[in-house]
């Protein structure tokens, strides 16, 4: 897909907590897709979970600390500014703000399985490329997901990369036992 536009990645989530796996995923995608930058869009909370473990300010601070040495990763909280936490609204915001950019929404293969449940998922796919990073135990199911059948891989990029064997869920469980 040759283009003269800046290629910008959007990696959203609660980052509860952020970890080196998020960093590895971002760096791999930056390199493989030649992205100019990746924005980590921290949300107040995951819409599929009841509450967060760390406060919003703690999560933003942890993201900033983790990405401090990486000049291509920017940490942002924009929900209050755009009055929404919906991915489509975030994509719409970036398309409006960065008109000369080509957007790449980064998700794990685990999220692709339920992507059809996301609000305005068809509009999301029309307004950006969907970049899917492998997650242990989810890849086969993701490649047979409803989205793939419906979109026929249109606008969906599967990244080959080393699977990250760390998750925010595992870290929260560790913190609960050791704090």
- Of 70, 84, 60, residue with least CA distance to 23: 70
Using DSSP bridges, classify how beta strands 101-108 and 73-76 pair: parallel, antiparallel or unpaired. Answer: unpaired
Residue 152 vs residues 72, 87, 112: alpha-carbon distances, Å: 31, 21, 13
* 104-137 per-position pLDDT tens digit: 999 999 999 999 999 999 999 999 999 999 988 8
* 55-70 per-position pLDDT tens digit: 999 999 999 999 999 9
Give 71's contacts (C-beta < 8 A, 6+ positions apart): none
Low pLDDT (below 70) residues in the chain: 1-4, 152-153, 174, 179
Counting residues of the chain whose pLDDT is more than 90, the rounded percentage is: 66
């Amino acid at each position: 897909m040759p283009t003269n536009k800046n290629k910008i990645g959007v990696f959203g989530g609660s980052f509860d907590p952020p970890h080196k796996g998020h960093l590895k995923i971002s760096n791999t995608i930056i390199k493989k897709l030649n992205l100019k930058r990746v924005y980590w869009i921290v949300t107040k909370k995951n819409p599929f979970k009841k509450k967060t473990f760390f406060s919003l300010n703690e999560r933003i601070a942890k993201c900033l600390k983790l990405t401090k040495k990486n000049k291509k990763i920017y940490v942002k909280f924009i929900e209050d500014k755009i009055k929404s936490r919906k991915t489509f609204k975030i994509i719409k915001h970036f398309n409006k703000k960065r008109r000369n950019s080509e957007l790449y929404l980064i998700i794990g293969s685990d999220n692709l399985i339920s992507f059809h449940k996301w609000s305005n998922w068809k509009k999301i796919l029309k307004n950006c490329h969907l970049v899917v990073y492998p997650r242990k135990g989810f890849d086969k199911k993701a490649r047979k997901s409803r989205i793939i059948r419906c979109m026929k891989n249109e606008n969906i990029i599967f990244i080959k990369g080393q699977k990250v064997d760390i998750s925010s869920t595992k870290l929260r469980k560790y913190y609960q036992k050791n704090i």
